[in-house]
Amino acid sequence: MPVGLQVDFDRDKYAELMKKCSLLATPDEINKAINRAAKRAADTAKAESIRQESSEYTLPVSEIRGTITTRKISGGDIGAVMNISSSPFALTKFTGVTPNQVMPPAKGPVVTKVKKGGGATLKHAFVAKMKSGHMGVYEREGEKSLPIDQLFGPSTPSMFDANENVNEAVMKLAGETFDKRVQHELERLLNG
């Protein structure tokens, strides 16, 4: 389930500055300036989310970055959105999983370290490569060699939701960035 952040514009908060801007700029120019500020705030929130998650999990930054997007709100509304969406990651995507190459099932165990500072030993797990080329950590469902189940770590949205302090830090930073950027963008319209 995707999670995210929406940066909305509070017209009442900036009523005085908006009034001054309306004397020198068109409503479209003002809206574009506000949207630039909102997009910058959403981009800042994205960068902070990536930084926070990569400091807590052993998932490479490139994997995290690919699951977070920012965009301006469509439909003529003012603001921007940051969306975080992914499926659970295969354990082999995390750098804290060893071994990280194909191994015979009898050679176990597999040591997983999804979160930095934590870890678990999976005694009956093994690393295998499927015919499709996908490599993963698997466990047998029973005594027979088949079927096997692939093991997964968390998804990016669950990583983001799991830590309320990260959520609050990202929201606070987005709000602060938006306030600074709105002031800057609207004053830029006033000063030409």
The pLDDT tens digits of the residues spanning 10-60 come to: 778 888 888 888 888 888 998 899 999 999 999 999 999 999 999 999 999
Q: Does 88 sit behind a cis peptide bond, omega within 30 degrees of 0 on the bond before it?
A: no
Q: Is the pLDDT of residue 1 over 60?
A: no
pLDDT in tens, 49-58: 999 999 999 9
Q: What percent of the chain has pLDDT over 90?
A: 47
pLDDT at 192 over 70: no
Q: Is 111 helix (H, G, I), strand (E, B) or coil?
A: strand
What is the Cα gyration radius of the chain? 23
pTM: 0.85
**Rounded to 5 degrees, what angle do the CA atoms 99, 84, 162 make?**
65
pLDDT at position 74, please? 80
Tens digit of each residue's pLDDT (9 = 90 or more) over 158-185:
998 887 877 888 989 999 999 999 989 9
Contact by Cβ (8 Å): 123, 111: no
* Stretch 75-101: mean pLDDT: 89
Q: What residue type is 111 in one-letter code? A: V
Q: How confident is the model at residue 2 (pLDDT cuts 50, 70, 90)?
A: low
Long-range contacts of 86-89, Cβ-Cβ distance < 8 Å, separation of 24 or more: 86/155, 86/156, 86/157, 87/155, 88/152, 88/153, 88/154, 88/155, 88/158, 89/59, 89/63, 89/152, 89/153, 89/154, 89/155, 89/156
Give the three-state DSSP class for 90: strand
Average pLDDT over residues 81-109: 85
